[in-house]
Amino acid sequence: TASNMAASGGFGPNQVSTALGLGIFVMVVRVFMKSPTLPLKILNVTILGAMTFRAIVTFSRGGVVAAIIVAAAFLASFYYRSSFKQKNQIIGSVVLLSIALFITWNISSNQTLGLIDKRYANQDALGREKDDVTTGRVELFMEELEGFLSSPFFGIGASKVKDIRVERDGRHLPSHNEIGRLLSEHGVLGIVIILIIVIKPLTYRANNKRNYFFYAFMAFWFATINHSGMRIAAPSFLYALALLNVVHEKHSLHRKQLKQ
């Protein structure tokens, strides 16, 4: 019940799951914001179901869980800003979406002969409970914290986390957590970097509340860098999008009055 490269088109299942999770979020946005008619809404929900199925059967949970967190952040923000009439429409769309996802999960379970249920229940193929729900990520993070404690001021050096694991254990295991990597490799400077990249967007948000997707984009960035690191560019790209200042400008047209 581990991540399955064969079901991910031969690519890394973690990265494929993350990319599909981003696609799921895009389709959720389309369902709620760009589906004015019922046929179009059903079409978008169908595409969403197909993407969700592909993400689930990679057996990599990170992208799916991230998609759930991001969609929830978007819906909370969208619902809060909507009128009473729009809120009723949102509730109806949520019901339709829930039915579609329930069907998708059952199809995924049938196609995998129930193994996907065991995967998300943290069990092996025989139904035995696994020791670590994070599949080794906590162990890697604790190793990175040890690196930080061994050299808290300057860190162990850029890209040294992977090199140390190769030298010590013979394992080519890059970091799965950017927070741990920053602390381990850059020490106190890593703490400063983390504070800047977390606090600065929040202070910027205080004067820029027009971006509907701010919390969703930040949630995707934070969730992804904590389970998949920076293996793909998507988290940094969406982090940048969160800082957009969305302005709807209407330029007034000045006409000269004709003299009579």
pLDDT tens by residue, 174-186: 777 888 888 888 8
Res 111: pLDDT? 92
Q: What is the DSSP string of 182-236?
A: HHHHHTHHHHHHHHHHHHHHHHHHTT----TTHHHHHHHHHHHHTTTTTSSSHHH
Res 4: pLDDT? 72
The answer to whether residue 200 is domain-embedded is yes
Same domain, 142 and 219: yes
Query: What gap in Å lies between CA 65 and CA 78, rounded to an integer?
Result: 20
> Residues with Cβ < 8 Å from 178, sequence gap 6 or more?
225, 226, 229, 230
Mean of pLDDT values over 49-76: 92
Same domain, 161 and 112: no
Across the chain, mean pLDDT equals 85
Res 165: pLDDT? 74
Mean of pLDDT values over 51-74: 92
The answer to whether residue 258 is domain-embedded is no
The answer to whether residue 146 is domain-embedded is yes
144: amino acid identity, one letter: E
Choice between 170 and 10, residue whose per-residue pLDDT is larger: 10
208: amino acid identity, one letter: N
Q: Which of 151, 161, 239 is nearest to 200 (CA)?
A: 239
- Cα–Cα distances (Å) from 257 to 95, 153, 254, in that order, read 56, 70, 9
Same domain, 176 and 208: yes
Domain containing 142: what range?
Answer: 137-242
Would the pLDDT of 256 be above 80?
Answer: no
Choice between 215 and 143, residue whose per-residue pLDDT is larger: 215
Overall number of domains in the chain: 2
Res 237: pLDDT? 93
Residue that the structure tokens 């957590």 belong to: 177
